[in-house]
A and B are shown apart, each in its own frame.
Chain A
C-alpha cells in the first residue's frame, strides 16, 4: 500500500486525526466537541496547506485567535477586515471596471476566508485552491467517519 506522505491529503489527515483524538480525550460535552472538531478541521487543513495561500493564512490567524479569546479578538479582527475591505474595495472596484458580478463577487469574498481585501483575479485563484482543498477535506473526513462507524 503506497501512501504518499507528502500529499496534501495525508498531511491533513494526520493532523486532523491527532486533533480528533485529543479532543475526544479532553472534551465530554457534545457541543464543545462539535465546535472544536470544526475548528480543528479548518486549522489542520490550513496548516497542511501552509502559509503560501491567502486563505490558509487567514484561517490560521483566525484559529489562533479563536483558541484564546474568541469574542474580543473576533470583533477586532472583523474591524481590521472591515477597514481593509473599505480600502480594498476602492482598489478592487477601480480595477474591475465591470459591474457584472459585483454582488456575487462580494458574496464569494465573504465565503472564502481572507477574501475580503482581494481583487477579483486573486479572489478567483484563491477560490480555486480553496475548492480543491475543501473537497480533499470532505473526502478525508468522510473516510474517517466510515472507518469509525464500520468497525
Chain B
C-alpha cells in the first residue's frame, strides 16, 4: 500500500507536470520526470520506445474493473491498469532522458483522448497509471508506423507545435476530432490524427518559416540552403522568384549573389560529371576534374574510332537486324559493365570475350587514372597487329581469329 501511495503521489505529480507542460521548458519537464521516475538510464534516442515495447509485451491488463468510468476503453483502460500491481515504476526507469520523454508527454493527452481532466484524474488514481497508458495508447502508434524512428519523428514534429504555436488549439482539436469515435475506430482515427497532425505541423512550420522570411530583411541570418527550401515552398504562396539570401559574412551585392548562384550550379554539374567519369570520386578542384573529363571523352572517342575501323573490316551477315539485336542485348547487358579498360578484350572469339570480362572486372578496381595510358598502349598494339595482318582487303576477316586468340594472352 505504501508503494501505491508513493506511486500515486508520483503520478499525480506527473499529471500536474502534464498540465503545465506547455508553459514549462522541456528540460525542466524532463528533469522533474527523471526525478520522479528515478533518473532515466540515459539510453539513446533509439531506445526511446523500448519501454513501450516491454510494456506492451508485459502481460494483459485484464478486464475493466471500473468500466463505468469514462466513455472509451482507452480512458477506461486506465483503471484497468490500476489493478495490476506487478507493473511499477521500474519500467519507467528505462525512459530516456530529455527530449523523448518530454515529447511523449504532450502526446499522452492527445492519445488519451478526449478530456484532459479525465486523464489527470486517471493519473490521480492509485496504482500504475502512466505506465499503462503507453501500453494502451502507444500500440496504436506502433500500428501506425513501422519503426520507432517514425514515431519519434512524429513526436518531434508535434513538439514545436505543442510548445510554440498553438498548443491550446491543438488540444482543443483533439477532443473535437476524436469525439465521434468507436472503440474499434479509435486506433485508426488516432493514426489519422497523427498523420494529420504531422502534416499540419509541417505546414505550420513552413508557414512559420514563411512568416519569418517575410519579416526579416535580407540580412545574413539564415543559411542559403534553408532559404532555398523555403523558397521552393514559397513559390506557391509568393511570386515565382527564386529567393536567394546572402549567407553569413558574405557580400549582399546583387552581382555577387548571382555569381554565387551560378558558381553553385556549375559545381553541381561538376558533381554529376564526377559520377559519370569513373574513378573521379576523390578529385576535388575544377581544373583536375576538367582534365579527367577531357581525357575520358577523348578515350571514348578513340574507342569509337577503333571500333568503327573494326566494323569496317568485318563483313556483316545479311540477316542481321533483329537476331543481332537480341543476342546483342544479352551481351550488352554484360558489356555495359565493362569499363574503358576492357575494350580491347572484345576482339576475337567469345572465349576471349568472357576472358576479357573477367580481366576487365578484376582490372576495374585499379585506379582509373591509368586507364587512358593503358588504352593508349593497347590501341597502338591493336593497330600494329591489325596492320601487320596485311590489312588492305576484305580477305582479312579470318585474320581476326588468330589475332583474337593472340590478344587474349595479353
Closest to B349 in A: A150
Residues 324-350 of B at the A interface (beta carbon under 8 Å):
324-332, 335-336, 338, 343, 346-350
**Chain B residues closer than 8 Å to A28, beta-carbon distance:** 394
Residues 346-362 of B at the A interface (beta carbon under 8 Å):
346-350, 353
Residues 276-304 of B at the A interface (beta carbon under 8 Å):
276-277, 286-287, 290-291, 293-294, 296-298, 300-301, 303-304
- Residues B317 and A148 in contact, CB atoms below 8 Å apart: yes
- Residues B335 and A131 in contact, CB atoms below 8 Å apart: no
B307 at interface by CB-CB < 8 Å: yes
- Residues B317 and A38 in contact, CB atoms below 8 Å apart: no
**Chain B residues closer than 8 Å to A138, beta-carbon distance:** 300, 303-304, 307, 343
| Known pairs A95-B262, A111-B298; A104 contacts B287 (CB<8 A) | yes
Chain B interface residue count, Cβ-Cβ cutoff 8 angstroms: 65
- Residues B309 and A21 in contact, CB atoms below 8 Å apart: no
B305 at interface by CB-CB < 8 Å: yes
Distance, CA A104 to CA B286, complexed state (A): 9
B315 at interface by CB-CB < 8 Å: yes
Closest to B342 in A: A142
What are the interface flags for A90-111 relative to B under an 8 Å C-beta threshold, 1 for contact and 0 otherwise?
Answer: 0000010110110011011001
Cross-interface CB contact of B332 among A95, A108, A143, cutoff 8 Å: A143
| Known pairs A30-B391, A125-B269, A138-B300; A145 contacts B307 (CB<8 A) | yes
**Chain A residues closer than 8 Å to B325, beta-carbon distance:** 3, 10, 13-14, 17
Closest to A132 in B: B276
Distance, CA A14 to CA B322, complexed state (A): 9
Interface residues of chain B: helix, strand, loop or mixed (majority): helix
Distance, CA A10 to CA B305, complexed state (A): 20
| Known pairs A97-B259, A124-B273; A112 contacts B308 (CB<8 A) | no
**Chain B residues closer than 8 Å to A21, beta-carbon distance:** 316, 318, 320
- Residues A37 and B311 in contact, CB atoms below 8 Å apart: yes
B393 at interface by CB-CB < 8 Å: yes
A10, A30, A105 pick with most chain B CB within 10 angstroms: A30
B120 at interface by CB-CB < 8 Å: no
- Residues B353 and A146 in contact, CB atoms below 8 Å apart: yes
Distance, CA A40 to CA B148, complexed state (A): 59
A72 at interface by CB-CB < 8 Å: no
- Residues A127 and B391 in contact, CB atoms below 8 Å apart: no
**Chain B residues closer than 8 Å to A149, beta-carbon distance:** 314, 347-349, 400-401, 404
Nearest CB on B from A126, distance (A): 10
Cross-interface CB contact of B350 among A14, A95, A112, A146, cutoff 8 Å: A146
A134 at interface by CB-CB < 8 Å: yes
- Residues B335 and A139 in contact, CB atoms below 8 Å apart: yes
A9 at interface by CB-CB < 8 Å: yes
- Residues B296 and A137 in contact, CB atoms below 8 Å apart: no
- Residues B328 and A38 in contact, CB atoms below 8 Å apart: no
**Chain B residues closer than 8 Å to A148, beta-carbon distance:** 311, 314-317
Interface residues of A (CB under 8 A from B): 1, 3, 9-10, 13-14, 17-18, 20-21, 23-24, 28, 30, 33-34, 37-38, 40-42, 95, 97-98, 100-101, 104-105, 107-108, 111-112, 120-121, 124-125, 127-128, 130-132, 134-135, 137-151
**Sampled A-B contacts (19; CB under 8 Å):** A34-B309, A34-B312, A41-B307, A98-B263, A104-B287, A108-B297, A124-B266, A124-B269, A124-B273, A125-B269, A127-B293, A128-B276, A131-B276, A131-B297, A139-B332, A145-B346, A146-B328, A146-B353, A148-B315
Interface residues of B (CB under 8 A from A): 259, 262-263, 265-266, 269-270, 272-273, 276-277, 286-287, 290-291, 293-294, 296-298, 300-301, 303-305, 307-318, 320-321, 324-332, 335-336, 338, 343, 346-350, 353, 391-394, 400-401, 404
